[in-house]
Amino acid sequence: MNSGIDLQGTFINSLQDLGLPPGISKLLWMPLPMILMVIGATVGLLVLVWLERKISAAAQQRVGPEYAGPQGSLQAAVDGLKLIFKEDIIPAKADSALFTIGPILVILPVFISYLVVPFGQNLIISDVGLGIFLWIALSSVQPIGLLMSGYASNNKYSLLGGLRAAAQSISYEIPLALAVLAVVMMSNSMSTIDIVQQQSGYGILGWNIWRQPVGFVIFWIAALAECERLPFDLPEAEEELVAGYQTEYSGMKFALFYIASYVNLLLSAIMVTVLYLGGWESPIPLDRLAGWLGQPETNPILQVITASAGILMTLFKTYLLVFLAILMRWTLPRVRIDQLLDLGWKFLLPVALVNLLVTAALKISLPFAFGG
Amino acid sequence: MNLAEGVQLVSFIILTVMMLGAALAVVLTPNIVYSAFLLGAVFSAMAGLYLLLNASFVAAAQILVYVGAINVLILFAIMLVNKREDFAPVKYAWTRKIVTAGVCGGLFLLLGTTIITTPWGINNTAAAGDEAIYILGEHFFTDFLLPFELVSVLLLMALIGAIVLARRDIIPDLIDVATGEDLKLPERPRELIPAGSVDADEVT
């Protein structure tokens, strides 16, 4: 398998040609992908917020944001600026240390999880062998931040919201992890790169969604619940809990929650793409197309085109899922907390277990199709 | 010393200081909620140390199980049962602290001397790294099969026990009486409250 473009190697080599020692040139490379990923996630977030406002407006037959930038596309940036200039209030009876650490603990794991998001064979910050497991482990840290901010606000709605958030994310983590486990079992690896590799070669027919339809549905429901999106946004159910754990927050600390929830939605959509929709693979396998056209794999122009197509495909699939999530938010009613926990424990968990067993059986009986 | 070694040394120092500081604070803070949150910091620092030892799977499992599950469970328990109760001051309460400090110091000395005097068989082979998952899996299904299965049975028992405890309104003294074919747990009949039946004096 041709590995495509190796940006890291080229960058380090060219710096060494300029006369820098290898250690320094590696050090200069290291922050670049991280900064790029943080910027990418932030821009993705702005697009996502704009989409949310526009699509919700369309769902309710309104126009939505219109004046800031063309079609109101700068509205999210303007919102962010407004939040920066707002007063940062810590309630008098609140626990100021925990009140401040809470939002940070909520947002940090989400951004660290972008470590394992692949956009191409080499377009990833770090191909850790743990891959998808790292994401699951990190997302389990978030409830602590939510509990912390809920407790520190010294407000009964906040505390209830925080407890609900933690209960919800713990209950839905189990079906989520079981759905991921079925995919991991098929690709014999937890690395996100290997998971996409295993789906490649046959275009749209090779994607995991055909082999794991049940897992796909479970994962999508559980991911939405983990992101606290409607129909599962109980922690901040405004009719019952004002705004849940966010009630007492204002200014930048509120913005941290807001950013965390949207970046997390984006991350979940990317993970669905990677696990079930073939990641950066196009619906028609590009390398075969190039083979028919008589182009060798080492052709530099072809490599650039493949890499760009990979990024575009990942983003396209991700935003398709995001569109679905937004549409669901504005059309479905909210479930009650007991219905939510019933769904998680009494339906998703058994179905996920059965799915895992069936996958294992199929892996043994049909090794050619299920990665034996 | 090259770059990687320097980074390792600095992160080791930071993690150790963080772990020891947080662990001491867990014991010494009077506020139990702070203790619970700091316990999470201790677990995270331990995960960092595992990472430095090239055991990434163990580190991630540590985060997932200890920080994400056990610590959250402790927090839940504290937050749902947090009665802000003022205890009556006890005479000679300070003696208790001194005794505790003595016992803890003695334990520390004992363990410290054990660690120093034991001839540890230090294994110099390189850590398995990402291969660790396969090795762990193999061990689980070959030479550690019995403990693995026993632990799963234990978990199942805990699960069933939790369900039994969480069932509403079990009448313990009726369980002995209830014999025969019916194995259902006796449950106190719930009173049905008809809508709009609030007493007039309760409203006023």
Which residue among B56, B75, B133 places its CB closest to the CB of A147? B75
Using the Cβ of B126 and the Cβ atoms of chain A, whether some distance falls under 8 Å is answered with no
Reported as a pLDDT band with limits 50, 70 and 90, residue B30 is confident
Using the Cβ of A143 and the Cβ atoms of chain B, whether some distance falls under 8 Å is answered with yes
- What is the per-residue pLDDT for A2? 46
Burial string for B145-156 (b: 16+ CB within 10 Å, else e) reads: eeeeeeeeeeee
Between CA A144 and CA B66 the distance in angstroms is 12
Between CA A195 and CA A285 the distance in angstroms is 16
Closest by Cα among A117, A36, A126, A127 to A279: A117
Q: Using the beta-carbon criterion (under 8 Å), do B63 and A140 form an inter-chain contact?
A: yes
Using the Cβ of A360 and the Cβ atoms of chain B, whether some distance falls under 8 Å is answered with no
| The CATH classification of domain B1-83+144-180, taken from the options 3.30.1330.10, 3.40.50.970, 1.20.120.1200, 3.30.160.100 | 1.20.120.1200
Using the Cβ of B12 and the Cβ atoms of chain A, whether some distance falls under 8 Å is answered with no
Reported as a pLDDT band with limits 50, 70 and 90, residue A1 is very low
Residue B183 has pLDDT above 70, yes or no: no
Size of interface A-B (CB pairs under 8 A): 67
Q: Identify the residue with better confidence: A201 or A37.
A: A37
Q: Which residue of B has its CA nearest to A142?
A: B68
Q: What is the pLDDT of residues B104-147, one digit of tens each?
A: 999 999 999 999 998 888 777 777 777 788 888 888 888 889 99
State mean pLDDT over A306-324: 86
Q: Is there a contact between A145 and A104 (Cβ–Cβ < 8 Å)?
A: yes
Collect all residues of chain A within an 8 Å Cβ-Cβ radius of residue B2.
23
Whether the model clears a pTM of 0.90, i.e. scores above it, the answer is no
- What is the per-residue pLDDT for A189? 80
Question: Poorest-confidence range of A10-24, A38-52, A170-184?
Answer: A10-24
Q: Give A337: exposed, middle or buried? Use CB within 10 Å, 0-12, 13-18, 19+.
A: middle
- What is the per-residue pLDDT for A276? 87
Q: Identify the residue with better confidence: A5 or B133.
A: B133
Q: Is there a contact between A298 and A231 (Cβ–Cβ < 8 Å)?
A: no
- What is the per-residue pLDDT for B102? 93
Residue B192 has pLDDT above 70, yes or no: no
- What is the per-residue pLDDT for A354? 92
Between CA A179 and CA A172 the distance in angstroms is 11
- What is the per-residue pLDDT for B107? 94
Question: Poorest-confidence range of A51-60, A141-150, A210-219, A295-304?
Answer: A295-304
Question: Poorest-confidence range of A261-270, A279-288, B117-126?
Answer: A279-288
Strongest mean pLDDT among A118-132, A193-207, A315-329: A315-329
State mean pLDDT over B22-44: 88
A 184-223 → B contacts, CB under 8 A: 190
- What is the per-residue pLDDT for B203? 44
Which residue among B40, B64, B130 places its CB closest to the CB of A144? B40
Alpha-carbon torsion A247, A103, A272, A138, what sign?
Answer: negative
Structural domain boundaries of chain B?
A: 1-83+144-180
Residue B172 has pLDDT above 60, yes or no: no
Residue A3 has pLDDT above 80, yes or no: no
| CB contact set of A333 (below 8 Å; sequence gap of 6+) | A231
Reported as a pLDDT band with limits 50, 70 and 90, residue A4 is low
Reported as a pLDDT band with limits 50, 70 and 90, residue B204 is very low
Question: From start to end of A62-152, where are the E strands?
Answer: none
Q: What is the pLDDT of residues B147-159, one digit of tens each?
A: 989 999 999 999 8
Q: What is the pLDDT of residues A154-202, one digit of tens each?
A: 888 888 888 888 888 888 888 898 989 888 888 888 888 888 888 877 7
Mean pLDDT of chain A: 82
Residue A209 has pLDDT above 90, yes or no: no
